[in-house]
């Protein structure tokens, strides 16, 4: 605790010596860094094959981590083994307990892909897995069906990363050992498919009665 206290005092002393020009330069540098990060993320996300956010699989495949990982790869959304396992377990539970998925689509073959994509966006999902509602071991190739033929599909929408993060910060007063020195709130929006966020927030310093603005980048 003493080491943390000394560090906090040193940081406070360093910050108190900054002039308005120093603060302005720091803000400009932060803005430039955020712009550069966003540009790199956009360019990186645009490289490679076109993402396919909706993947058709058999129900059996969808219930496995490998099936979830395959769908994530098609959508170019990185997921960890734990994320894939959790999603597969939820899909298996929905099917085995006859719990209706978020979307059960009944449409024609030529409109199924568009309906699935609309449903995915409405759910805020990073990617979706579509299975044959009547046959768990079959995968319907919609391109091989007559355009007017009716199809029934189960759609499982997977949200690997939240669209928005909210953070509340409370900093204790280490000098007195009691009370609060600073409180803050930050909102972050997802900017890439692999869970990188840009955020804006504000904080209030109780000791100096100052309001601070900040920009954050989380990965």
Residue 32 is assigned to a structural domain of this protein: yes
pLDDT of 129-174, one tens digit each? 999 988 889 887 777 778 888 888 999 999 988 889 999 999 988 8
Three-state SS at 142: helix
Whole-number Å distance between alpha carbons of 126 and 23: 38
Shared-domain flag, residues 80 and 37: no
Shared-domain flag, residues 65 and 114: yes
Q: What are 125's two structure tokens? A: 């999902």
Residue 167 is assigned to a structural domain of this protein: yes
Q: Are 8 and 174 in contact (CB under 8 A)?
A: yes
pLDDT number for residue 15: 47
Q: 22: domain range?
A: 2-41+163-218
Q: What residues have CB less than 8 Å from 174, skipping those under 6 apart?
A: 4, 5, 8, 9, 181
Residue 87 has pLDDT above 90, yes or no: yes
User: How many structural domains compose the chain?
Assistant: 2
**Mean pLDDT of the region 66-87:** 94
Shared-domain flag, residues 146 and 94: yes
């Amino acid at each position: 605790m003493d080491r943390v206290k000394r560090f906090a005092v040193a940081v406070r002393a360093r910050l108190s010596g900054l002039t308005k020009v120093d603060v302005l330069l720091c803000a400009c540098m932060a803005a430039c860094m955020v712009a550069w990060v966003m540009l790199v993320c956009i360019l990186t996300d645009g490289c490679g094959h076109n993402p396919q956010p909706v993947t058709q699989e058999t129900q059996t495949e969808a219930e496995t981590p490998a099936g979830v990982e395959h769908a994530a790869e098609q959508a170019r959304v990185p997921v960890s083994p734990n994320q894939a396992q959790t999603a597969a377990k939820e899909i298996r539970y929905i099917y085995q307990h006859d719990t209706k998925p978020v979307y059960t689509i009944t449409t024609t073959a030529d409109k199924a892909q568009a309906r699935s994509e609309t449903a995915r966006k409405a759910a805020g999902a990073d990617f979706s897995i579509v299975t044959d509602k009547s046959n768990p071991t079959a995968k319907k190739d919609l391109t091989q069906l007559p355009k007017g033929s009716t199809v029934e599909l189960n759609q499982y929408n997977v949200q690997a990363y939240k669209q928005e993060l909210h953070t509340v910060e409370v900093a204790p007063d280490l000098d007195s050992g009691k009370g609060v020195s600073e409180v803050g709130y930050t909102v972050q929006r997802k900017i890439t498919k692999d869970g990188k966020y840009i955020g804006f927030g504000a904080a209030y310093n109780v000791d100096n009665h100052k309001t601070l603005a900040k920009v954050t980048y989380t990965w």
